[in-house]
Structure 1
C-alpha cells in the first residue's frame, strides 16, 4: 500500500518527485474521452521508469497465443489493445542540453489531475547539469466535446540564463506494446506528411488492418506573444517532427500549444482518413486551446450533475469515489455499441484491454442509474451482436444446437483468452450476461428488449447450461464438473455454488421469457422458434427438470452453501492469522500452495448471495458472510465492493466502511501492488455499487426504488443521485435525517425503511 497521493476532494495530487512510483502516477492521472486516451506520461523526453501509453478505442491486434503445451480448443490469439502513436511528445533542448528529469536535479515537482474539469497539470523546476534552471508547466486534456482531439499547453521559463531553446513537437508511431508475446511491433506505416507547424502519420495494424491517422498542429508564444517560425522538418520510419529554436532571455517564457488528432478507420473510410483527420484537427486548432478547454470543462460539469457523490467529513473517501466515477465517465460514453469497457480502459495494456464479464456484473448498474437508458442498452446490444461468435466458441468445445458460450476475453466476440483454467472453466460469465438482461429490464421496464434481442441470447446460454450439466446417479441430481468460479484461487473444481446457481437461475428466467413472449409477442415468438429451431415442449421440459434437480453442496453443521464439493477438506485458517509477509499471496506463494489453501481471491458464493439476496433472510446472509469473508484475501479488484454491500445488508457497518475504502482507494493507494500496470476500471463500477447499494441501501424492485440509507460514523453526511424511469432523485443523509428530492418532472414510487411513498415531481420528503 502506498501513501503518496495527497487527499483532496476534487484532485489527485502528487506534490513531490517520486521517480520510483512514476508508473503508478502515470496510471492514476490517465486521461480519456471514450474514443481515445492515454497515460500521464511526460511530454518531454524521460529516460527514467515509465510506461508509454496512448490508446485508440476499438483498435486491437491478435497476438498469437504463447503456451508451452497446446490444448485442443485454445484460442489462436490473445487480443492486445494497442499502444498507439505518441502524439504528446515535445522534446526540449536548452543550448546543447536535453531536458530529461532523469538526468536533472529536480528542485520541485507537482502533478495533479483535476477530476472536476477533466485535465492534467504538471509543474516542476529543474536544474540542468550546466546549472541552468528551467520552470516548466504543462496542461493537457482529451476533449469530450471534440472527441477525436486532445490539446497540450507546455511552457518553459528561463530562470537564470539566456540561451537558445529548441522545441521539437513530434508524432511517433514507432511504438511497442510492453505485453507483446513475441517482442513484435504491431504497426506498419501507410503514409506520412510533415510541413511547417503540422504533420500526420497513418499506420495500419498487422493482421486486423485497422488504419489510424495521428496528427499534430501547433503554435508558439514567447511571453504570450505569438511567434512566426520556420521549422526544420524531420522524417524517419513512422516518425515526423518539427524543430524550432528561439533565443530566450532570462525570465522569459516560451510556450507551445499543440493540438493532436487520432482518427481510426472505424469512423472514416481508409481512403478519406487523412482528409477527415485534417478537418477535425483544423476545427480544434481554430477554436484554440482556451476555447477547447472551456467547452471541455462545461461538458464535464454536465457529467458531474448526474453522477456526483458527495461525502462530508472524509477527504480520502470523497477523493476515492470521485476518482472512480471520473474514470468510468472518461472510459465509456455509450455512444457506440461496438465499444465496451476494457478492464484497464485507456490506462494500460494489461488484460489485453478487452471485454470481460466485469462489464455486466459491475459496470451496468452504474450506467443504469446515472446515464440515459440507451447507454445501458448498448452494453447489452454489444453481446447480442456477438451471439453468433458465442455459438462458434461453444461449438469449438463440442457443444451443439445453438449453445452459446460467451468469451472470457474478447474484442469481437471471439474468445481470445489463453489460460485454460479461466478460458474454459470460468463459465459463470455466461450467467452474468444473462443476469444483465434481467437487471436491465427490471430497472427500465423495457420488456420489449426480450423480443428478439434478450430472448435469443438467453436461449443460447440456456442451451449451453443444458449441455454443460450432467446427471449424477450418485447424487441423484444434476452436477457441474470441472469449473473455476469467481475465486480463481481454486481451479477445476466440481459444483461451484455460484456457477450452479447461475445456471439454474438462467434456465428459470429463460422459461419466464418464453411465457412472456407467447403472451405478448406471439407472432415474433413463432418466428424466433423457427429461426432457432426451438422445440419449446422438449427444451422447456428439460430446463424444468434441471431447475428442480440442481445439486448444491451444503454443510448442515454450519448451515451454509459450500463454495464447491471439497471445500471443507481444506484447513480453514482466517487471514487474520496470516503474517503480513505472506500478502499478497499471489506474489508471495507458489500456485500449488494457493490452490490447496482455503484463501479466496474474491467473492464467490457470496457473489450469489448478493445477486439473489431476495431469496435469503438476513441471518442466512450473515452466516455465509461470517464464514467466507475472514478467509477472503480480496486480491481481486472485484471483491471488496460485494463485501461492502453484504456487510451493509447485515448491519456490519465497520466492515462495510473498511471494504468501501479498500475498493474506492484500490488504485489510489496501490493496495495490490499493480496500479503501475493501469487502473482497475471495471471494478470502479463496483465501487459505485458499494456506495449506493451498500450505504444507500439502493435497489430496484417491483417497479419501485428501495432505499435503506445509513451513515458511517466517520462521515458527517453524504448525498448521491440516481435516475429511475425518467425520474431524477437526490438522496441526502446525515446522522439526523434523510432527504429525498425529486429534481424532475416525473413522479417516482419509493420504499424507504420499509415504508412506501410516491414522490411527486419536483417534490421532497424528509425522514
Structure 2
C-alpha cells in the first residue's frame, strides 16, 4: 500500500491532520530551496519527536574518509558528502514559561502544512493545548529568496486562544549540528567566532579539510497585531550557538509575529574576512525591503519560472500535482546560475548519495534545463564536466589508464571519484558515455556548435582514449570486447560485454572522430590548440577506429534481440509477473547473491540504449526489445519508470505509458519505495518531465527541426507545455480535438507535427 496522505491539489502540496509518524516524510516532501541553499521542512520551534534535521549549502562539502571492509587499489580515499549546515531556522517559543513542543502538547488540532509551488513558500499551522492548558494558534510561513539567494525569511505568528498570556520568542543560530550520514563520526565543521551587533547575530564556521568558510546570520523583529514593536536582542550563547529573545503580552484573540531574516554567506562567493560584512549587507537589503516586499519578489520570481516551465494537465488532478511537484523541486535544486554547481540526486531534501553529482545530470536532467531555460544553463552543466576533465584523467590514471584517457566519476563534488563500491566505482563505466551523449544532445537541440571547439572536443578525445584502452581484443572472436563491467542494471555485476556499454563505447569513439574532422575544417586555431594540448597522432586515431569498427555486440539470432550481456540467456528467464508479491521489492527481500543470479533488471539497460539512440533503431526493433526486457524489469530504481513510459508511449501502449508516468511523477508524493523520509528523488524528476514532453508530446529533433508525435492518455482531457528551442518559444497544446503549436519568437520555425511538416510564423496557431 502506497503512502497517500498528500491531498490532491493543482498548485500545492497539502497535509492535514497531526500524525507524528509522518513528520520525517513530510520534512522531505515540504523541503524548500533556491538553487544556492535548501532545507528540509523541520519545525522552527522545539520538537522532541522523531525528526531529521537538515540544512544544506550548494557546493559546500566534506571529504568523509572511505570506510570499507577491505581496500582495493584505485579506491577513492573519501566519499564527498553534502554537509548539514548550521541551523538558522530555530525559534524557541515559550507560552507563560512553558516550551512549545508538539511532542508534549496535550492536544494538537487543525494541523496543516502547505507547500505553495506557484508562489514558492512553505507554511505550517495548528492549534495546540500546552501542558499549562494554554491554547495557542500558530501559523509559520517561510521561504528561501530566489532574488537574494543567501537569504531565508520566516514569518512566525502565535495567537492567544485562551485568555492572557506572555509569548516569548527565542530565535537562535546553532552550528553544533552533525550529519546523519557519516562514516567515522568525524567533526565536519570547525566552529569559530560568535558575534553580535545591533540586533544581529553571526556564527562563523569552516569545514574541515575543504576549508569552506560560512557565516550563518540572523536578525528578528516582533510585530503585535500587525504593528512593529521591537527587535529581538541578545539572550545567551554557547561556543556553538547564540539565542536572542523578545516577549509580548497578549490578551485573548491578540497575536504576536516574529519575522526572522537569516541565511548563509560563504567563501564560494566572498572572501573569508568579508563573510560577516556580506551577511550584514544582505540583512540591510532584507530589512529595507521588509517581509511583504520580499514575498512579492518571491511570487514574481516563481511566476517567471512557471511561465516557461509549467506543464498543464486537464482532467487528472493527481497527475497535474505530480508534474508540478517535480518541476518545482528541480528549480529549487538548480537554477543554472553557477557552473560550479550541479544537481544532487536528493537535492536539498536529504543526505543520501552524499548530495553529489552522478551521471543522472547528463542522462536525465540536461533536457529539462535546455527546454525550460536558455541554452546557457545547459552549457553551464557541460562546462562543469569540462572544468573537471583533469580530475577525470587522474581518476583513470589511478586505475592504470594512460595518455590522457579520462574516466568521469560515478559520484563527485570536485571531479574526483568518491564512490567506493568496487562493482560501481571500477565497473559502471557507461557513465563516460553519458558525458558525450549530453554534448550530442546539447548540439542537436541548441545548434550551438561553439561548445565543441571551446571545450567539448577535449572531453570527447579523453573519453575515446579510455574506451580504446578499456577494450580487449578477443583472438577467438576477432572482435573487441569490454569485460568486467556493470551496466545501468546494477542487479548484474562484473559481466562481460554489456550491450549498452559496448554500443556507447563504439558510438563515443565515432563521435570523437567525426567532431575532430569538423573542428579541423571549421575551427583551425582551436584544432591546432587541441592537437598540441592532447598530442593526438594519426596512429592513435587509427587505433580508435580499429576498436569502433570491430566492437562486439552480443545478439541472439533466435530471439532477434541484443543481449544485456553475454551470459544473460544462461539465466532462468521468469517474468516479474510470476514473482510472488511477498518477494517484492527484491532489493529488500533477497540476498545480493540471489539478485545477481536472477534475470531481474533494476532499470532500463538495453532499453536505455534504445532511448538514447532512438533514431538508430526501428519501431519494430524497439517493440521486440521492449517486449523481451520490460517484463523482466522490477523498476527498483527511481530512474526506471520514466524511460519505460517514453518507450511505451512510442509503441502506442498508452495504458502502460500512463501507469509508468504516474509512478515516476508521484514516486515521492505516494512514497512508492517507502524511503521518502531520506529525501526526494530529484534527478528522476527530470525523467518525469521527459515522460510528458518526449513521451506523450513525442518531442524529437529531426534534421534540426522539432518534431512532435503527440499521444493523449485516456485519463486526460488535454495537456500543454512549452520548450525554448534555439531562443524561440514553442507552446504545444494537445487536446482530444488535435494538436496546436504556437510560436513565440521573431523568426519563422519549421516543425513536424504528427508527421506533417509545418512552418510556424510568430504567434501563429497551427490547428
Q: TM-score, normalised by structure 2?
A: 0.98
Residues 8 and 321 in structure 2, CA contact (< 8 A), matched pair in contact too: yes
Aligned to 2:703: 702
Q: Find the residue that maps to 2:672 and give its secondary structure.
A: coil
Structure 1 146/232 Cα, relative in aligned 2: closer, same or farther at 3 Å? closer
Q: Secondary structure at the match of 1:199?
A: strand
SS of equivalent residue, structure 1 residue 13: strand
Q: CA deviation at 1:568?
A: 1.1
Matching residue within 222, 225, 229 for 2:224: 222
Which residue is equivalent to 1:247?
249
2:307 to 286, 289, 305: 305
Partner residue of 2:482 out of 475, 480, 483: 480
Q: Pick closer, same or farther for the CA change 1:746–1:23 going to 2, 3 Å.
A: farther
Mapped partners of 1:261, 1:183: distance in 2: 26
Q: Is the 8 A contact 1:698 1:706 kept in 2?
A: yes
Q: Is the 8 A contact 1:745 1:762 kept in 2?
A: no
Distance in 2 (CA, whole Å) between partners of 1:575 and 1:137 is: 48
The alpha-carbon distance between structure 1 residues 230 and 529, as it changes in their structure 2 partners (threshold 3 A), is closer
- In the alignment, the residues of structure 2 paired with residue 730 and residue 72 of structure 1 have an alpha-carbon distance, to the nearest angstrom, of 53
Which whole-Å CA distance do the structure 1 matches of 2:179 and 2:551 have between them? 45
TM-score, structure 1 as length reference = 0.98
Matched, 1:18 2:19: yes
Which position in structure 2 is the counterpart of 1:506? 508
Q: 1:205 maps to what in 2?
A: 207
List alignment gaps of at least 5 residues for structure 2. Answer: none
2:262 to 245, 260, 269: 260
In 2, Cα distance between equivalents of 1:249 and 1:232: 26
Distance 1:727 1:658 in 2: 32
**Cα distance in 1, alignment partners of residues 613 and 494 from structure 2:** 25
* Number of the residue aligned with 1:146: 148
Deviations 1:32-65 (A, max 9, x none): 1111111111110111111111111110000000
Counterpart secondary structure, 1:193: strand
Secondary structure in structure 1 of the residue aligned to 2:450: helix
Query: What does residue 420 of structure 2 align with?
Result: 418
Q: Which residue of the partner structure matches residue 620 of structure 1?
A: 621
Q: Where do residues 273-292 of structure 1 align in structure 2 (5 Å cutoff)?
A: 273-292=275-294
Deviates most, 618-627 or 541-550: 541-550
**Counterpart contact for 1:340–1:355, Cα < 8 Å:** yes
Pair 523,223 (structure 1): closer, same or farther in 2 beyond 3 Å: closer
User: Cα offset for 1:244?
Assistant: 2.5
1:289-688 pair list within 5 angstroms? 289-535=291-537, 537-688=538-689
CA-CA distance at 1:372 after TM superposition: 1.1
Deviations 1:604-640 (A, max 9, x none): 1100001111111111101111111111111111111
- Distance across 2 between alignment mates of 1:266 and 1:683: 28
- 1:92 maps to which residue? 93
Asked if the contact 1:637–1:683 (Cα under 8 Å) also holds between the matched residues in 2, the reply is yes
Q: Deviations over 1:303-322 (max 9, x none)?
A: 00111000000001000000
Say which SS state the counterpart of residue 766 (structure 2) adopts.
strand
Any idea what SS the aligned residue of 1:102 has? Answer: coil
Match of 1:120 in 2: 122
Alpha-carbon shift at residue 196 of structure 1 (Å): 5.9
Which residue in the other structure is 1:156 paired with?
A: 158
Give the deviation of 1:230 after TM superposition. Answer: 6.6
Deviations 1:371-417 (A, max 9, x none): 01110000000000000000000000000000000011111111111
- Which piece of structure 1 moves more, 688-697 or 232-241? 232-241
CA distance in 2, matches of 1:503, 1:524: 25
Deviating more after overlay: 591-600 vs 262-271: 591-600
CA distance in 1, matches of 2:669, 2:141: 21
Superposition RMSD in Å: 1.1
Indicate if the aligned counterparts of 2:136 and 2:158 stay in contact, CA closer than 8 A: yes
Q: Distance in 2 between matches of 1:55 and 1:744?
A: 39
SS at match of 1:226: strand
* Structure 1 stretch displaced more, 617-626 or 515-524: 515-524
Assess if the C-alpha contact under 8 Å between 1:703 and 1:749 holds in 2.
no
SS of the residue aligned with 2:103? helix
Cα distance in 1 between the residues matched to 2:650 and 2:499? 21
Residues 428 and 485, structure 1, Cα contact 8 Å, conserved in 2: yes
Which residue number in structure 1 is paired with residue 36 of structure 2? 35
- Kept in 1, the 8 Å contact 2:220–2:231? The answer is no
Name structure 1 gaps, 5 residues minimum: none
Partner secondary structure for residue 227 of structure 1:
strand
Give secondary structure in 2 for the equivalent of 1:447. Answer: coil
